[in-house]
């Protein structure tokens, strides 16, 4: 079950277990280049677990076991010799809650650049990243301020700027606006719209209206299975599976 387009990411028969618990099973899908793809579904359906397979965050869970294949431009990300750190430089991730370092606004981005081996023109890269995250005008006069003093919405955009600084090709977002107020949520959604032409973006969201607003393609997951995956407008207006219809109409949570 795929959306036709040039594939940046692809899963083939992907399954994940935590210990003996099956979380997702036999999922095959294609993530197209420079589009926004949303994963929707009820809590516990496997959305975040699937997202984390794309940059090997599940490696950090001792009981996790991944089967099947995850391909990035046709290359298996779980093949022997592929380093997770290299995967995460190419496929960045923004989490549900901002996870800033207890450092200045500038150093939050500069530190991330340095640990990824970037040495030249750090100031220019910090500015470019903040501009890309639509945050430069708000913080340019106080780059030495504690990042933790920023509002929640600004902190989340700073996390996005930090992820963009190392120039990934793909940006994964795990419910990036769920902890934000409506105004901050709108700014994050606007930012995703601004970034869509330059990056492939995959977002997990519990908010179906948000998925409808910002995504090009949507995948509906239920109980660890990929039920339906198609262009967002078609999925919301003409779902093929009764489980999809029940979920988007609110008859099934």
| Three-state secondary-structure class, residue 149 | helix
Tens of pLDDT, residue by residue over 168-226, are 999 999 999 988 899 999 999 999 999 988 999 999 999 999 999 999 999 999 999 99
Residue 42 DSSP symbol:
S
Tens of pLDDT, residue by residue over 119-148, are 778 999 999 999 999 999 999 999 999 999
Pick the closest to residue 201 from 91, 87, 56, 75 (CA basis): 91
Tens of pLDDT, residue by residue over 45-66, are 999 999 999 999 999 999 999 9
The whole-angstrom separation of Cα 220 and Cα 243 is 9
The whole-angstrom separation of Cα 58 and Cα 60 is 5
- Cβ count within 10 A of residue 8: 24
Contacts of 41 (CB under 8 A, 6+ apart): 47, 220, 221, 222, 227, 247
pLDDT of residue 251: 73
Q: Which two tokens stand for residue 178?
A: 């769920």
pLDDT band at 2 (very low <50, low <70, confident <90, very high): very low
The whole-angstrom separation of Cα 182 and Cα 116 is 34
Pick the closest to residue 178 from 201, 150, 204 (CA basis): 204
The whole-angstrom separation of Cα 205 and Cα 102 is 27
């Amino acid at each position: 079950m795929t959306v036709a387009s040039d594939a940046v990411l692809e899963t083939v028969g992907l399954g994940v277990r935590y210990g003996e618990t099956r979380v997702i099973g036999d999922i095959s899908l294609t993530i197209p280049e420079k589009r926004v793809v949303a994963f929707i579904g009820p809590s516990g359906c496997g959305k975040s677990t699937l997202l984390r397979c794309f940059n090997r965050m599940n490696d950090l869970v001792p009981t996790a076991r991944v089967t099947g294949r995850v391909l990035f431009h046709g290359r298996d990300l779980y093949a022997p010799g592929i380093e997770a750190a290299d995967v995460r430089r190419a496929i960045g991730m923004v989490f549900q809650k901002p996870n800033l370092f207890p450092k200045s606004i500038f150093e939050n981005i500069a530190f991330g650049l340095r640990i990824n081996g970037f040495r030249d023109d750090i100031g220019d890269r910090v500015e470019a990243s903040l501009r890309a995250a639509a945050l430069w005008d708000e913080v340019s006069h106080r780059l030495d301020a504690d990042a933790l003093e920023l509002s929640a919405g600004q902190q989340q955009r700073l996390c996005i700027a930090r992820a963009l600084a190392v120039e990934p090709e793909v940006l994964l977002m795990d419910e990036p606006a769920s902890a934000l107020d409506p105004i901050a949520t709108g700014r994050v959604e606007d930012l995703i719209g601004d970034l869509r032409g330059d990056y492939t973006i995959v977002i997990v969201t519990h908010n179906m209206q948000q998925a409808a607003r910002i995504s090009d393609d949507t995948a509906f997951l239920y109980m660890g299975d990929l039920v339906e995956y198609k262009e967002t407008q078609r999925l919301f207006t003409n779902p093929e599976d009764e489980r999809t219809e029940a979920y988007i109409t609110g008859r099934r949570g």
